[in-house]
């Protein structure tokens, strides 16, 4: 049967993504009239119930927005509140925060590469299915993931919703000896990370290119994770920076009827955050080992193909392990586990790089430190528009080249969405695919 007419396709609930969402696609002939990523994750109202809480509470509370990237929430919250209170955290504590964050990048990326994304490239439904033919590869992925979790468990107390993070630093910092077993584990993980780069470099990548500006933190000396200045790389190659406090002036959120997430735009244009944006903006600051991984992966300086984001994730895993090892090698226990963060009235902004993209927090405090206003802008809410554009482009191209069945189109769309590692719980709100060939 032919599908040249108009049709509507629905994907009820997207699999291998974090959170709950659906997709609605309306196709007329060979063009896509409408592509909506419908996020039906129920709203949880974090920004509302944060009001009235003490300034010490948002790191623990906002961690619960997302079980996959709780550290990102804790770090953006700490940064924002420390900014409001005019406090700067000592260098050794900042290093420990960066190492904790590396743990989350390793865990989250290994999860996405092996358990969520690789099955698409290797024609399986899941990693468990993949393990029937490539058990050693899946075991490697799980080992890598465990190495990330080992950092989180040591520095954070546990892998999901770590308990050891507080304003100003940590409740407790590790003794020198405690890091030694971790160091050995990470050295083995570094080999697994290299083999991962080799594995993903062998995947077949459909040819496509995103048409969105990139937004990522940048830092003069390092690949920005927990600290940096927001930088924009436009599609025309123009680059600029803005202050973290100017984030609300540049990135505006709007609500759309099909989603419980708020969509956002950067200076009125589509933008994308996450691995592709970070690599394009900060790729020069990667460590020598990670630069080698870039060459091994066959990446250029800027990559706009979302299918190839898996290559950047693999490079970032190499980098995060390298960074964690560097921090361990230079580690001297800080004199105090945290600096004091006495409350004062004011507004603070905190931006860090969650594994799936830039995460902004803003809090306003009264003189006693009570939160009077809170704003969270998660990466998936920022990426939703670019993901929808990406779907239109990929589907139209497929329609131009052949005559796909509804089932083939559905599979293609789900894959295109997974490229972006969307975190739908984060957007506070997931996917149900409808393809409308009306």
Partner 1 sequence: MSVPTLAVFKLASCDGCQLTLLDCEDELLTLAGEVRIAHFLEASSAVTPGPYDLALVEGSVTTPADAERVREIRAQSRHLVTIGACATAGGIQALRNFADVEEFTRAVYARPDYIDVLATSTPVSDHVDVDFELRGCPIDRKQLLEVITAYLAGRKPDIPDHSVCFACKRRGTVCVTVAHGTPCLGPVTHAGCGAICPAYGRGCYGCFGPSGSPNLRALIPLLHRDGMDDRAVERLLRTFNAPAFDKEVRS
Which residues in this chain contact partner 1 in the complex, by CB under 8 A?
13-20, 41-49, 51, 53-54, 57, 60-61, 64-68, 70, 111, 115-116, 119, 125-129, 131, 135, 138-139, 142-143, 145-146, 149, 157-161, 163-164, 166, 170-172, 254-255, 257, 260, 262, 337, 414, 425
At closest approach, how far in Å is the CB of 201 from partner 1? 24
Smaller CB separation from partner 1, 46 or 121: 46
| Nearest residue to 113 via CA among 356, 383, 431 | 356
Give me the phi and psi of 362, to 5 degrees please.
-135, 135
Q: How far is CA 68 from the centre of its chain?
A: 9
- Buried/exposed code over 67-103 (b: 16+ C-beta within 10 A; e: otherwise): ebbbbbbbbbbbbbbbbbbebebeebbebbbbbbbbb
Smaller CB separation from partner 1, 169 or 283: 169
Give me the phi and psi of 32, to 5 degrees please.
-95, 120
DSSP class of residue 173 equals -
In whole angstroms, give the CA distance from residue 362 to residue 371: 10
Contact assessment for residue 276 and residue 300, using Cβ atoms and an 8 Å cutoff: no
Smaller CB separation from partner 1, 80 or 376: 376
Smaller CB separation from partner 1, 119 or 348: 119
Smaller CB separation from partner 1, 36 or 282: 36
In whole angstroms, give the CA distance from residue 320 to residue 323: 5
Cβ neighbours of residue 202 under 8 Å, at least 6 residues apart?
none
Cβ neighbours of residue 41 under 8 Å, at least 6 residues apart?
19, 20, 21, 260, 261, 424, 425, 427, 428, 429, 430
User: Angle CA(341)–CA(346)–CA(349) in degrees, nearest 5?
Assistant: 80
In whole angstroms, give the CA distance from residue 70 to residue 127: 24
> Would you state the structure tokens that stand for residue 42, as one six-digit string?
């129920």
């Amino acid at each position: 049967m032919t599908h040249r007419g108009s049709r509507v396709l629905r994907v009820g609930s997207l699999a291998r993504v974090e959170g709950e969402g659906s997709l609605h696609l309306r196709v007329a002939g060979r063009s896509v009239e409408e592509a909506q990523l419908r996020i039906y994750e129920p709203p949880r109202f974090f920004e509302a119930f944060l009001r009235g809480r003490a300034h010490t509470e948002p790191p623990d509370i906002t961690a619960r927005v997302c079980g996959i990237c709780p550290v990102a929430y804790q770090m953006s919250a700490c940064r924002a509140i420390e900014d409001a209170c005019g406090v700067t955290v000592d260098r050794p504590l900042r290093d420990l925060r960066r190492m904790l964050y590396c743990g989350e990048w390793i865990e989250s990326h290994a999860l996405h590469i092996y358990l969520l994304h690789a099955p698409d490239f290797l024609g399986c439904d899941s990693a468990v299915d993949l393990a029937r033919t490539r058990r050693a590869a899946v075991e490697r992925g799980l080992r890598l993931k465990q190495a990330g979790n080992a950092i989180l468990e040591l520095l954070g107390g546990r892998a999901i919703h770590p308990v050891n993070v507080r304003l100003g630093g940590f409740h407790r910092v590790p003794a020198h000896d405690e890091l030694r077993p971790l160091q050995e584990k990470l050295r083995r993980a570094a080999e697994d990370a290299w083999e991962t780069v080799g594995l993903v470099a062998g995947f077949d990548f459909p040819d496509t290119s995103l048409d969105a500006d990139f937004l990522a933190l940048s830092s003069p000396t390092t690949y920005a994770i927990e600290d940096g200045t927001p930088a924009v790389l436009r599609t025309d190659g123009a680059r600029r920076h803005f202050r973290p406090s100017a984030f609300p002036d540049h990135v505006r959120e709007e609500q759309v009827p099909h989603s419980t997430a708020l969509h956002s735009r950067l200076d009125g244009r589509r933008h994308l955050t996450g691995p592709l944006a970070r690599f394009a903006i900060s790729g020069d600051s990667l460590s020598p080992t990670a630069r080698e991984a870039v060459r091994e992966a066959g990446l250029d300086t800027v990559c706009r193909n979302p299918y190839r984001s898996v290559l950047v994730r693999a490079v970032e895993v190499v980098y995060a392990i390298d960074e964690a090892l560097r921090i361990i090698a230079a580690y001297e226990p800080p004199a105090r586990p945290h600096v004091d963060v006495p409350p004062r009235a004011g507004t603070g902004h905190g931006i860090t790089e969650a594994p799936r993209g830039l995460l902004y927090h803003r809090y306003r405090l009264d003189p006693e430190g009570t939160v009077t206003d809170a704003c969270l802008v998660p990466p998936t809410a920022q990426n939703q528009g670019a993901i929808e554009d990406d779907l239109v482009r990929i589907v139209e191209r497929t329609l131009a080249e052949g005559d796909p069945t509804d089932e083939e189109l559905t599979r293609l769309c789900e894959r295109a969405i997974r490229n972006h590692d969307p975190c739908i719980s984060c957007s506070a709100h997931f996917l149900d695919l409808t393809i409308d060939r009306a």
